Amino acid sequence: MALEIHQFAYGQDNYGVLLHDGDSRETAMIDAGDATAARAALGETGWQLTQIWITHHHGDHTAGLLDIAAETGAATYGPVGVSGVATTLAGGDRFAFAGRQVDVLATPGHTLDMLNFHLETEKLAFTGDTLFAMGCGRLFEGDAAMMWDSLGKLMAFDDDTVIYCSHEYTAANAAFALSVDPDNHALQRRAKAVAELRVAGLPTVPTIMGLERETNPFLRAGDAAIRKGLGMESASDAAVFAEIRRRKDNF
Ligand code: ZN
Ligand code: FE
């Protein structure tokens, strides 16, 4: 049976996710930024939490961890240095959830401790604040070269990989994307679809890898039209990425 997924909103623009296996009745939650929202999501689904996977140390991803872990007894996984994480992970590690393999990727850039989770057999990934729909995380702790390398790990995913990210930033990301990639028809179509979803109060997350490859400027540093627009035809992909990230910071 395929895993069931319940996404819920909290805070300003955060998304939490519950992942559930109906056979084993195991349930994982990705990040624990808000205990109240997590309790509500568990109550709504009736699922019993068995694991918590933390992506990075920021409070909007961790503030509810101690409470929810204590209340549920869930096993806690995440980076070194997060209070309440019992099993610390690093890039290249793997662990099991409901008989599936979860691969741990280190994707530093937004923070140095950032971890992403990939269930290859389920075509499913959780990218925290590294990859957003049409965007990527701000560089708080790492630099552009580091983030470009991290995004490269995610670009190895198959096109039909479903990607859950941690924030609803998509409409603002679309506006920026159009500023550096204005003639991209797939992007124009997607920006329209995103605007319609937001008017209807609907989430734009999850996304899929193939769509990100076509429309996310942060994955498109190698694209000839973008490079031409930036006047960076002969620059390295990493340098083009750094310029796109710099422009987004000032957009
Ligand atoms: Zn963050
Ligand atoms: Fe965040």
User: For residue 178, what are the contacts with CB-CB under 8 A and spacing of at least 6?
Assistant: 187, 188, 191
DSSP letters spanning 148-175 = HHHHHHHTTS-TT-EEE-SB--HHHHHH
For residue 223, the CA-to-ligand 1 centroid distance in Å is 28
Integer Cα distance of 73 and 67 in angstroms: 10
Name residue 78's beta-bridge partners. Answer: 88
For residue 9, the CA-to-ligand 2 centroid distance in Å is 12
For residue 243, the CA-to-ligand 2 centroid distance in Å is 22
Neighbours of ion ligand 1 (CB under 5 A): 58, 129
CA 129 to chain centre: 5
Integer Cα distance of 94 and 105 in angstroms: 9
* CB neighbourhood size of 195 (10 A): 15
For residue 58, the CA-to-ligand 1 centroid distance in Å is 5
Ligand nearest to the CA of 138: 1
pLDDT at 1: 77
For residue 24, the CA-to-ligand 2 centroid distance in Å is 30
For residue 166, the CA-to-ligand 2 centroid distance in Å is 6
Ligand nearest to the CA of 169: 2
Neighbours of ion ligand 2 (CB under 5 A): 60, 129
For residue 60, the CA-to-ligand 1 centroid distance in Å is 7
Burial class (CB in 10 A: 0-12, 13-18, 19+), 133: buried
Using DSSP, state whether 52 is helix, strand or coil: strand
**Which pLDDT tens digits describe the chain residue by residue (251 residues)?**
799 999 999 999 999 999 999 999 999 999 999 999 999 999 999 999 999 999 999 999 999 999 999 999 999 999 999 999 999 999 999 999 999 999 999 999 999 999 999 999 999 999 999 999 999 999 999 999 999 999 999 999 999 999 999 999 999 999 999 999 999 999 999 999 999 999 999 999 999 999 999 999 999 999 999 999 999 999 999 999 999 999 999 99
For residue 128, the CA-to-ligand 1 centroid distance in Å is 7
For residue 56, the CA-to-ligand 1 centroid distance in Å is 7
Ligand nearest to the CA of 14: 2
Q: What is the pTM of this model?
A: 0.97
- For 4-249, CATH number? 3.60.15.10
pLDDT at 75: 98
Ligand nearest to the CA of 142: 1
Contact 94, 100 (CB under 8 A): no
Using alpha carbons, select from 140, 134, 133 the residue that is nearest to residue 165: 133
Integer Cα distance of 140 and 10 in angstroms: 22
For residue 75, the CA-to-ligand 2 centroid distance in Å is 22
Tokens of 77: 């996984």
